[in-house]
Structure 1
Amino acid sequence: MTTQDIVQKLWNLCDVLRDDGINYSDYVTELVLLLFIKMEYENAESGLLQKHRLPDYARWPQLRDKSGLNLLHHYRETLFKLSTSNDRLISAIYADAQSSIKEPRHLEQLVKSLDGIDWFSARQDGLGDLYEGLLEKNASETKSGAGQYFTPRPLIDTIVQVLKPQPGETVQDPAAGTAGFLIAADRYIKDHTDELYDLDEKQRQFQRNQAFLGMELVAGTRRLALMNCLLHGIEGDDEGVVHVGNTLGNAGSSLPKSHIILSNPPFGTARGGGGPTRDDLTFTTGNKQLAFLQHIVRHLRDGGRAAVVLPDNVLFEAGVGADIRHDLMDKCRLHTVLRLPTGIFYAQGVKTNVLFFQKVSQAATGSTQEVWVYDMRANAPKFGKRTPLTHAHFADFMAAYGEDANGLSVRQDQGEQGRFRRFSREWIASEKGDSLDIAWLKDDSAEDAADLPEPAVLAREAMEELNGALEELEAILAELGEAAEVAP
């Protein structure tokens, strides 16, 4: 059995949960509470974890050897005890954890099914990879709305491979989700250090406990991230690798500066008082991505490198958007923009990009002299279930990017017919007004009406542009001492 086969088997167990009246959106959370106990036991017994993190009463044989009401009562009691454990990481993972399973026979069926799966092939790739596959399956099946995207694994791996994280460097994701970027960075380092055995014990401890840090606003998602990290052998501090909190609030301002920041911030515009509340950001905006971009620049160490996934509107938004991009190109050397294909996220029609940059200093000016743009979007395949995005689709980009993590390799401008071109900072300022929405290839696929974004996507983009314009007008009125009147 392949890992993909096992993921499908696990997903099929959701039918059991459906029979118990559990909502579709709660399948994975319910399943992983149980699955983590199984995986932690397997990993500790096989030596992949240094020790058992779960106490005796919460180990898999305690569930496997019980049945009926005894099993259900023991499981519910186990979840409660784990949520109040003295082990802060375990208590964080199981904080407020409750099972909605009502029928003892359904729980017994789940336990037997999990126990009967051949885990041997999963162990070859790592049980953490199997677990992550289940999270990806959930993202693809549930068709989450804007702001809840699962970053495709080939994209994450490509970003990590070109930025080349090294042992001893700190890696941060201020919008961690299920910790995909952090785990990929850890995997890259392990692949280049013989699973950390090339390092001394002090260095290994740093990689396990201090190298990676994330922040996640949603407690349930943070639970998945903590499980995911622990199953990959990343423990973090007493609160785990991923802390719960709002990066755009006071919690975010306390995050340390890092050597590398990788992130795919949530899409959308904050409304109803949900905007950034930090007072250390230079520019005030309700656009969450623009606020996250400011955080990343501020919390990147001098000389540090970053890659951030951003929607098109961040590249062309006028007013404060242009100010933030100008500030980015002053403080950092923005060296590469990757225009991603439309539809690789689970909400069709969303157009995204990856910005790669190196921090010079918080006080620097004129750091960006040129920007290289790789257009992977024009005339790209229509990605989806029939044509999945794979690592092979990024091969040409990786070759064009070059071996230097900071984009300092000798690069070749492929001209108007090619996908990779160089644009001077002066041209971006004079011809584009600091817009980074730069395209030159004729996109034949865009002429097909079937490939146009969904009306809801177009409406959301228009709304975000209007909100940006409204913010600018309110700022102007504020400067003039006028209060913006709200129409009845």
Structure 2
Amino acid sequence: MITKQALGSTLFGMADILRDKVEDYKSYILSLLFFKRLSDNYTWESENGIKEFVKDNKREPNDREKEIILRRKHDFTIPDGCFWGDVRNAPLDKKNDALNKAVNAIADSNTSLKGVINTVRWNEPSPDGSGGKKLHPEVLSPLINYLDAVDLSNRNASVDILGDAYEYLIKRFADENRNGTTAGQFYTPQEVVDIIVRYLKPQKGSTLYDPTCGSGGFLINAAKYIKKTTGTQKNIRLFGQEDVWNTWAIANINMILHGLDAAIKKGDTLKDPKFTEEDNDLTIKTFDLVMANFPFSQENWWKNGEPKRDKKGKPITNKDGSPQLNYPGKEDFNDPYERFDYGIPPFSNGDFAFLQHIVASMNESGKAGVVCPQGVLFRGQPQKTEEEDGQNRKADDEYLIRRGFLQGPVNKDGEFVHAINIIDAIVVLPGNLFYGTTIPGSILLFNKNKPEERKNKVLMVYAAKEGWYKEESNMNTLLPQDILRISTILESWGDMEIAKAWITSQKSRLRDLIQEELDFKKGEIDLDTQEDIELAKDKHQKAGELVKAKEAEGKKPTQAQLNNLQKAKETLEKLIKQKEQRIADAEGQAEKERIAIDEVETELLTMLADPELRKRYFSVVDMEELEENEFNLNIPRYVDTFEPEEEIDLKEAIEGFESAMDYEAKITSFISSMKQSLGM
């Protein structure tokens, strides 16, 4: 069986062939991978089914029996002439057309694969009008040959290996484009996904929905969680919607490669939500759990903005060249799906539109975990009268929506329809943690059926403290010990006994993750260095054989031969030493993380026992305090986010100061005496 590292390395090697040849080359690689998987597995399933028949019946199946075997064994249909081998064997000038024909024929034969396997137009004409192909056959051919060497059937690549390699590739693509806008469209850091999934704890039979699912990270992680806790990933039903066509196709492929039966639909979630009730397509379908990382602060989310124009009628643009927009009033706005019970968000920012869609998608006891910009915690102002502060200001829509989440929706007269606080907890995260944006993010955790003791409380967790994440030049990351710190506070709400039990259960899990990551890195190092070391060994062996051959003839080796032998030896030793150092560095990092987990355990238990220390980590805030703060959820209002200054020994500081002053006086006296002796 192929390893995840080997398959991942092969797939990313394909990127080197395609890079700078086409835009969004990840779609080309992932689509080609999927086609080969279907083809390889179809052939393997056929062979395996016939072998099982022969074993059971002691004879070969006849044509009718063979037809039944093949029909039962295959999840997907592949028409004759549309297999991987047919494309591989096509002449160079026909290869693009053969591939395009094959994937389109498969899409036509399998309704669920339409737009998925054929999302790439392999025979698309070159935009320069030359009559050639956009992806030149001399690029496509080595790409096919590169992947051809790998058997992607179940015989060599299990669902787990294939799925993990696919996720690895998606992360590598995101890392490559971490500062670009597309990376954030399809990938959410696994550490953040893990925190949300483990707080919401999917149960057997749960329905889970992601309205902006990207490549499907939340859905995959939840399926893995349910498999670990119940024994099979089939104990959860998965639903997702994605608006970007290529990303939607990637998500569908991701589900299939992981062996998941998930409904992933294409469309704009706010304008055209695809999951509605069967008996009323204007009623939003509700779910047990919702998880999402929606596009931060999406402008013109209802697509009703009109470009601003100057006196000459020319569009007015922003610094980045995008048009400035005017939006209509809200008097005539109507959401046909009736999702905005808490207020109509500003058309210039979609954060509260997505949040209200998510809330509308939760059933009566539903929960949600949502990644969003920190601005949703404090944007918007309450109503103010002239008596209060000399002005007459209406409450902002964003303020009213946030207050509604905490107190309940209101009717047109401003009266509460019913009082309910659905915000369960808030986690403030460090900046530069998400792909495509440096904006500091947060996690909002909703619950429509909060326990009685928490109904009028909100847990505030400050996870952006210096040292609680790994700072890197391009992007910050959460380490296992950081996940432990955040998840323990979320799980325990400050209860020491719950915290102890949680830490015990999570330590072993996180240690396993550290070991898995270490094993993966060591496997990558082996693959990265194998070819160079083998070449160096071969060179060293040949140089040694030349020297031995001379000595066997009773002759003295030439100086050049001895120099070549020495150089080959040094090169080999250097490569081996570099590999050993890389492995040692990886093992050292893993050991640091293991130690850090133990240190965080001690830190957390010490903190929970000390009321003053607690204030620097989290706060359980009641409704009275929230009202006093006018429902502003900015974390410094509730948690002490200021770093305490390091304590110093005053006596020691004074002695040091006096010593420095004495030294300065001596130097001044010495300089004066030197000036006198020189007559200055």
| Bin of the TM-score, shorter chain as denominator length | 0.7 to 0.9
CA contact 2:301–2:350 (8 Å) conserved in 1: no
The 5 A counterparts of 1:94-243 are 94=117, 97-99=120-122, 100=124, 102-117=135-150, 123=158, 125-142=160-177, 143-145=179-181, 148=185, 150-196=187-233, 204=234, 207=236, 211-236=237-262, 241-243=263-265
The one of 430, 438, 452 equivalent to 1:349 is 438
Matched, 1:79 2:166: no
CA contact 2:188–2:293 (8 Å) conserved in 1: yes
The one of 275, 278, 293 equivalent to 2:335 is 278
Structure 2 CA distance, aligned partners of 1:410 and 1:4? 38
The one of 605, 619, 625 equivalent to 1:421 is 619
| Structure 1 counterpart of 2:33 | 35
Q: Relative to structure 2, which stretch is displaced further, 54-63 or 126-135?
A: 54-63
Structure 1 CA distance, aligned partners of 2:365 and 2:240? 20
**Unpaired runs of at least 5, structure 2:** 49-71, 125-133, 277-283, 305-332, 381-395, 409-419, 500-607, 646-680
CA contact 2:79–2:105 (8 Å) conserved in 1: no
Structure 1 CA distance, aligned partners of 2:86 and 2:361? 45
Q: Which amino acid aligns with 1:135?
A: I
Classify 1:267/1:77 alpha carbon distance in 2 versus 1 (closer, same or farther; 3 Å). same
Classify 1:226/1:109 alpha carbon distance in 2 versus 1 (closer, same or farther; 3 Å). same
CA RMSD of aligned residues (A): 3.4
**Unpaired runs of at least 5, structure 1:** 197-203, 446-488
CA contact 2:210–2:241 (8 Å) conserved in 1: yes
Classify 1:149/1:69 alpha carbon distance in 2 versus 1 (closer, same or farther; 3 Å). closer
DSSP-derived class of the 1:11 partner: helix
DSSP-derived class of the 2:185 partner: coil
| Structure 1 counterpart of 2:17 | 16
| Structure 2 counterpart of 1:438 | 635
Structure 2 CA distance, aligned partners of 1:245 and 1:303? 27
Alignment: residue pair count: 419
RCO higher in structure (CA 8 A, sep ≥6): 1
DSSP-derived class of the 1:301 partner: strand
CA contact 2:421–2:456 (8 Å) conserved in 1: no
CA contact 2:181–2:436 (8 Å) conserved in 1: yes
Deviation at 1:7, TM superposition (A): 2.9
Structure 2 CA distance, aligned partners of 1:408 and 1:326? 31
| Structure 2 counterpart of 1:370 | 457
DSSP-derived class of the 2:31 partner: helix
The structure with more radius of gyration: 2
Classify 1:367/1:162 alpha carbon distance in 2 versus 1 (closer, same or farther; 3 Å). closer
Deviation at 1:430, TM superposition (A): 0.8
TM-score scaled to structure 2, two decimals?
0.56
TM-score scaled to structure 1, two decimals?
0.76
Structure 2 CA distance, aligned partners of 1:34 and 1:274? 35
CA contact 2:211–2:240 (8 Å) conserved in 1: yes
Q: Which amino acid aligns with 1:222?
A: W
The 5 A counterparts of 1:267-306 are 267-271=296-300, 274=303, 278-279=335-336, 280=338, 281-282=340-341, 283-285=343-345, 286=347, 287-306=349-368
* TM-superposition CA deviations, 1:62-121 (whole Å, max 9, x none): 3344452343331021133244x1422111314553025543332221122112247699
DSSP-derived class of the 2:367 partner: strand
Q: Relative to structure 2, which stretch is displaced further, 299-308 or 103-112?
A: 103-112
Structure 2 CA distance, aligned partners of 1:277 and 1:60? 51
CA contact 1:162–1:403 (8 Å) conserved in 2: no
DSSP-derived class of the 2:214 partner: coil
Q: Which amino acid aligns with 2:229?
A: H
CA contact 1:334–1:368 (8 Å) conserved in 2: no
DSSP-derived class of the 1:305 partner: strand
Deviation at 1:224, TM superposition (A): 0.8
Deviation at 1:159, TM superposition (A): 1.3
DSSP-derived class of the 1:214 partner: strand
Classify 1:296/1:390 alpha carbon distance in 2 versus 1 (closer, same or farther; 3 Å). same
Deviation at 1:2, TM superposition (A): 5.5
| Structure 2 counterpart of 1:321 | 398
Deviation at 1:386, TM superposition (A): 8.2
Q: Which amino acid aligns with 2:254?
A: N
Matched, 1:260 2:289: yes
Classify 1:415/1:263 alpha carbon distance in 2 versus 1 (closer, same or farther; 3 Å). farther
Deviation at 1:34, TM superposition (A): 0.7
The one of 114, 130, 147 equivalent to 1:91 is 114
CA contact 1:374–1:421 (8 Å) conserved in 2: yes
DSSP-derived class of the 2:100 partner: helix
DSSP-derived class of the 2:296 partner: coil
Deviation at 1:244, TM superposition (A): 0.9
Classify 1:244/1:386 alpha carbon distance in 2 versus 1 (closer, same or farther; 3 Å). closer
DSSP-derived class of the 1:93 partner: coil
Percent same amino acid among aligned pairs?
A: 25
| Structure 2 counterpart of 1:247 | 269
CA contact 2:432–2:475 (8 Å) conserved in 1: no
Classify 1:65/1:354 alpha carbon distance in 2 versus 1 (closer, same or farther; 3 Å). same
* TM-superposition CA deviations, 1:222-245 (whole Å, max 9, x none): 111111111111233xxxx21111
Classify 1:43/1:136 alpha carbon distance in 2 versus 1 (closer, same or farther; 3 Å). farther
CA contact 1:136–1:150 (8 Å) conserved in 2: yes
CA contact 1:158–1:394 (8 Å) conserved in 2: yes
DSSP-derived class of the 2:255 partner: helix
DSSP-derived class of the 1:422 partner: strand
* TM-superposition CA deviations, 1:116-175 (whole Å, max 9, x none): 247699648431221122222212212222863621012112211221111211000111
CA contact 1:225–1:242 (8 Å) conserved in 2: yes
Structure 1 CA distance, aligned partners of 2:497 and 2:25? 46
CA contact 1:332–1:360 (8 Å) conserved in 2: no
Structure 1 CA distance, aligned partners of 2:456 and 2:135? 63
Q: Which amino acid aligns with 1:87?
A: N
* TM-superposition CA deviations, 1:247-295 (whole Å, max 9, x none): 1124257241000000011112323852697341232122212111111
Q: Which amino acid aligns with 1:305?
A: K
Structure 2 CA distance, aligned partners of 1:437 and 1:413? 26
More helix by share: 2
